[in-house]
Chain A
């Protein structure tokens, strides 16, 4: 495949292609120098992206769609921690600061996203009704004791945080090149990852999950490292060790555990929706 032939072909119907691609022209050449089979595998996708950028970046509608999706998840997380703090005797006083800063951040994310969406002359989605037992408003889901058993509460917290990291990551390409919104989304993404790390460490330190690491350590056959098979789908794909077309385990002679933990994996919007709607988010 020769990308320059493709550009030439486009030039026949659109003489201004070079103008349109400029200064994106550099990007075209970049993908041809990605040094391995990576580039070849990624070429059709990358080309589509470049043409999209050349002919117009993501529409405001797309950007608002991402922000409202993010807001939907932040409502979920904020409500979860708010309800946790409202549940007498759930969070030990010695942990209230530790969990409290996470609650503070999730509520701040809600406000921030509402403001950004409003500033784009769009309407923020409304909060939903939640059932943190995962029972879709029956209150009788698999996590029945989520607000009476601290171990269950932290297990659900870990799943929400890890899933949130994956959700933001999956939306980044929609925001390609958008300095303001992409940077903000990446900044929230990093904070969710800090939360995930902290919850994971806390569960280990409390001996609730004695083998937990602050990062997701998958085996070759299972992305989920929580020991809770109920949430396998939340971690599906985390076992990936192939990055940019290169199998890191084979190429670097490292363990699957190290290679999978070194990279977090994205989830699509549809994947995330199916994980939370009709269970935690009442439908």
Chain B
């Protein structure tokens, strides 16, 4: 199962190359500064089969990047092998969501540059992509997890610019979450498993999100600066 293709460009690395070319001039200058000053934010990579998000805002951006990689890979597979009985409209929704998640993923990859964690390999062996129930249940789990992850990590972001970008993305994830919930069961878009009696969406700490994400990843992601080691 090939899940690392870029469904938007149609080629594995086309978009990435053009993005890097576009960002190239700035990245070179930044890399020089980074080399002298980034010890605390160095991204640690476990040579065995893991990746640590790092610390500070880079850590949070990598955290988002990891989750977006997972979502993008999932929807790429959903669109490549649609479930039995999928309607045209459902396929349109799945394709839209895939495009959004791929854009999020590629955005974070470019933004992080050399500080990015590596490309993660998903493990979707427990998902039955031919089953509507199973695909939508997994989609709901991923979207709800994404919203809770962004909401739970927002306060850790130190830069107003990054906080705003995270805010721009999390509401789109919440729109997805509500759509998927409605596809499963019309009217369940703010059900009590996600929204409490105060009308607040749930939020989750990094240490609570990553174990759930890791269940769908061959490459395990850790966050040693945020109380989560593998």
Contacts and interface: CB of A to CB of B under 8 A. Distances in A.
Interface of A: 2-4, 24-27, 29-40, 42, 45-46, 49-50, 53, 97-98, 101-102, 104-109, 111-112, 165, 168-169, 172-173, 176-179, 182-184, 186-198, 201, 213-215, 243-244, 246, 248, 250-254, 258-259, 261-266
B48 interface: no
B85 interface: no
B50 interface: no
Contact of B202 (A24, A105, A187): A187
Interface stretch (B32-40, B127-135, B216-224): B32-40
Contact of A40 (B22, B26, B31): B26
B52 interface: no
Nearest to A112: B198
A25 B158 CA distance: 10
B56 A49 contact: no
Given A26-B55, A190-B171, A32 B96 contact: no
Nearest to B181: A194
A269 B110 CA distance: 31
11 contacts: A24-B158, A39-B30, A102-B190, A108-B197, A109-B198, A112-B200, A191-B200, A192-B171, A197-B179, A252-B18, A258-B99
Contacts of B111: 34-36, 38, 244, 246
Interface string B158-178: 111101110111111011111
A252 B168 CA distance: 18
B12 interface: no
Contact of A183 (B26, B100, B155, B177): B155
Given A26-B55, A197-B176, 9 more contacts: A33-B58, A46-B159, A108-B197, A173-B160, A183-B154, A186-B167, A251-B18, A252-B15, A262-B172
B37 A29 contact: yes
A265 B165 CA distance: 9
Contacts of A265: 168
B37 to A, nearest CB: 5
Nearest to A39: B30
Interface string B1-41: 00000001100001100110011011101110110011011
Interface string B184-197: 00110110001101
Given A37-B26, A108-B198, A30 B158 contact: yes
A97 B190 CA distance: 11
Given A37-B25, A46-B161, A190 B182 contact: no
Interface of B: 8-9, 14-15, 18-19, 22-23, 25-27, 29-31, 33-34, 37-38, 40-41, 55-58, 93, 96, 99-100, 103-104, 106-107, 110-116, 147, 150-152, 154-155, 157-161, 163-165, 167-172, 174-179, 182, 186-187, 189-190, 194-195, 197-203
Contacts of B147: 190
B158 A201 contact: no
A196 B177 CA distance: 11
Contact of A214 (B55, B107, B152, B175): B175
Nearest to B167: A169
A230 B147 CA distance: 31
Contacts of A30: 41, 56-58, 158-159
Contacts of B22: 36, 246, 250-251
B96 A213 contact: yes
